[in-house]
Chain A
Amino acid sequence: MKGIRAFLDGIEPHFNSGGKWERYAPLYEMVDTIFYVPGTATAIAPHIRDAVDIKRSMFTVLIALLPALFFGIYNVGYQADPEAGFLQHMLSGGRAVVPMILVSYTVGGLWEVLFAVIRRHEINEGFLVTGLLFPMILPPDMPLWMVAAGISFGIVIGKEVTGGTGFNIFNPALVARAFVFFAYPAEMTGDPVWSLAGEMTAATPLAVAASVQNGDAGLLVSQAGYSFGEMFLGLVPGSVGGTSKLAVILGAVILVGSRIANWRIIAGGLIGLFGAALLANMLAPASGNTMLSLSPLSHLLAGGFAFGLVFMATDPVSAAQTDRGRWIYGVLIGVLCVMIRVLNQAFAEGIMLAILLGNAFAPMIDYFVLRRHIARRRMAYEKQ
């Protein structure tokens, strides 16, 4: 470790103002703070003594994502050929998923460095999370150039146009996914894309439930061979990282335990999902729409709702910032997700658009929560 410090100190003068690589100071700063806690101190109050900065908290998110990532790699291999052994699953899954992650990090990283150098700010480590989240919410056979196009859009339009990390209105990884979803619908929707097996089409549980008019959705899903157990473990076709609810729960424990994700958003989302799904079930007998009859538990276990709620709805930048606002924001996302899934057959999965809509409403929710709070305090004050 001393060697690294000595090397970094040795080259530092070149990056300081006046040095020959002055323009690339953000790069030096990035490498330096990955290895060491920066020595800069806040000049004005409040002072909080804590080793955790944005870099550390983003690394915690990465660690929380690892179970879902490894299970995702395994599941991609498993879906391609269930008969092959564990090692074979990991290898064939890795061959599909690792290039996507590399492309996402490389292309996204180039944009990130470009903007950091032009705008003379530090490289924001939030990108480490965005660059990994994006491939994890894609179908496993996504062409790599589309991954590159998607992450470019997510970083530039989703984040940099509004001023970079901390100023983004929407979650950049979801903006990237929305871009490829609408730009290349053939690669993002339909049955064949969710498995590497090619001709052997593999419908996701939600697609199965949405496929037939007049029927029992839960029955359809189980007839297609998807039991609650399999959906909970994640051995079903779906996006790379989003199938396993077990891995998502592990990630949620890490995120909530380290106070990076706020539990109110997750709880609110679950309440919204269950409430809206129960309401839909009550309406089901009066309508031919099969999706209305899908039980709340199936809504939770099938598809990417859990992954999106835990890892993307809780994004501290684009979520609501007040505690009461977080509850409302979470419930809104849960309800919207069920509404999109049930009422629009073109979108079998609703969580992406639900979170993006939730992001759009978050500032307004906070605004009204704060205004109400101020009004109540004023009334209490005037009564005295």
Chain B
Amino acid sequence: MIMAKAKTIDTFLGPLSRSNPITTQVLGICSALAVTVKMDTALVMTGALVFVLVGSNTIVAALRNLIPSRVRIIVMLTIIATLVIVIDELLKAFVYDISKQLSIFVGLIITNCIVLGRAEAFALKNSVTASALDGFGNALGYGLILVLVAAAREFLGSGTLLGLQIIPDFLYVENGGWYVNNGLMILAPGAFIILGLLIWLQRTINGYKEE
């Protein structure tokens, strides 16, 4: 019983660090690069992924004995696509501005390798509770990296966090100071660099070795 419990917690905590989908498995990079210029978009994207991943893992796990294995990919994609369309419409209805900034990247959650990867690798073989936890953990692990990258990029590139001015105005060149925002962080290569440094840091701490 204790063993089972430890395993359940592990399904949830593992993806946050040791088997993080982005830094360890290097999945879902595309959106991690695209939506991390500002923190608010990264947070909303994390919320959307939590919804889709928990939903798809739960439904796939519930149906796992009914899905014929030959057509499982198309069935899973149908489930995922449905959830993505639902969240896309919800975002358009309630946070229209951010939804516009995220543009196609919410729709592209369908092709996010993490979602299909977890459904195929975990939900098809495990109980509903475990799958839901696994989906939640993986989505949060993805979100954690997303928010860290976005925080670094927004701080260095715009001097703000969540839209709040962090670096005081008088330091800027325009106001007689000396500081200039780092333009590279707004560009896509900035995300690559920050993400690379995070992967380096995390793998050093965990002692992870590429096989």
Q: Which of A3-11, A45-53, A179-187, A359-367 contacts B (4 or more CB under 8 A)?
A: A179-187
B104 at the interface (CB under 8 A from A): no
* Secondary structure call for the A interface: helix
Closest to B189 in A: A182
A353 at the interface (CB under 8 A from B): no
Closest to A185 in B: B183
Q: Smallest CB–CB gap between A167 and chain B, Å?
A: 15
Over the window 138-182 of chain A, the binary record of Cβ atoms lying under 8 Å from chain B Cβ atoms (1 yes, 0 no) is 000001011001000000010001000000000000000001001
Within 8 A of A (CB), among B157-199: 178, 180, 182-185, 187, 189, 193, 196
Q: A145 and B178 in contact (CB under 8 A), knowing A157-B193, A161-B200?
A: yes
Across-interface contacts of B185 in A (CB, < 8 A): 183
Check B183 against A184 for contact (C-beta < 8 Å).
Answer: yes
Work out how many contacts link A and B, with CB atoms closer than 8 A. Answer: 24
**Can you name 7 extra interface pairs (CB under 8 A) apart from A149-B182, A182-B189, A184-B182?**
A157-B196, A161-B200, A182-B184, A183-B183, A183-B185, A184-B183, A187-B180
The CA of A186 and the CA of B173, in the complex, are separated in Å by: 11
Over the window 183-207 of chain A, the binary record of Cβ atoms lying under 8 Å from chain B Cβ atoms (1 yes, 0 no) is 1111100000000000000000000
Across-interface contacts of A161 in B (CB, < 8 A): 196, 200
The CA of A85 and the CA of B184, in the complex, are separated in Å by: 41
B184 touches which one: A183, A186, A187 (CB < 8 A)? A183
The CA of A183 and the CA of B187, in the complex, are separated in Å by: 9
Check B183 against A143 for contact (C-beta < 8 Å).
Answer: no
Closest to B204 in A: A118
Q: List the 9 shortest-distance A-B pairs measured between CB atoms, nearest first.
A: A183-B184, A183-B182, A182-B184, A183-B183, A184-B180, A185-B183, A143-B178, A182-B183, A157-B193
Number of chain B residues whose Cβ lies closer than 8 Å to a Cβ of chain A: 11
Check A182 against B178 for contact (C-beta < 8 Å).
Answer: no
Question: Which B residues have a C-beta under 8 Å from some C-beta of A?
Answer: 178, 180, 182-185, 187, 189, 193, 196, 200
* Secondary structure call for the B interface: helix
Closest to B182 in A: A183
A-B contact pairs, 24 of them (CB 8 A): A143-B178, A143-B180, A145-B178, A146-B180, A149-B182, A157-B193, A157-B196, A161-B196, A161-B200, A179-B184, A182-B183, A182-B184, A182-B187, A182-B189, A183-B182, A183-B183, A183-B184, A183-B185, A184-B180, A184-B182, A184-B183, A185-B183, A186-B180, A187-B180
Closest to B193 in A: A157
Across-interface contacts of B200 in A (CB, < 8 A): 161
The CA of A186 and the CA of B172, in the complex, are separated in Å by: 13
Closest to A183 in B: B184
Across-interface contacts of A146 in B (CB, < 8 A): 180
Closest to B179 in A: A145
Q: Smallest CB–CB gap between A199 and chain B, Å?
A: 16
The CA of A183 and the CA of B157, in the complex, are separated in Å by: 9
The CA of A182 and the CA of B188, in the complex, are separated in Å by: 11
The CA of A157 and the CA of B184, in the complex, are separated in Å by: 14
The CA of A179 and the CA of B183, in the complex, are separated in Å by: 10
Across-interface contacts of A157 in B (CB, < 8 A): 193, 196
Closest to A149 in B: B182
The CA of A157 and the CA of B194, in the complex, are separated in Å by: 11
Across-interface contacts of A183 in B (CB, < 8 A): 182-185
The CA of A149 and the CA of B182, in the complex, are separated in Å by: 10
Across-interface contacts of B187 in A (CB, < 8 A): 182
The CA of A143 and the CA of B182, in the complex, are separated in Å by: 14
Q: Smallest CB–CB gap between B32 and chain A, Å?
A: 19
Q: Smallest CB–CB gap between B185 and chain A, Å?
A: 7
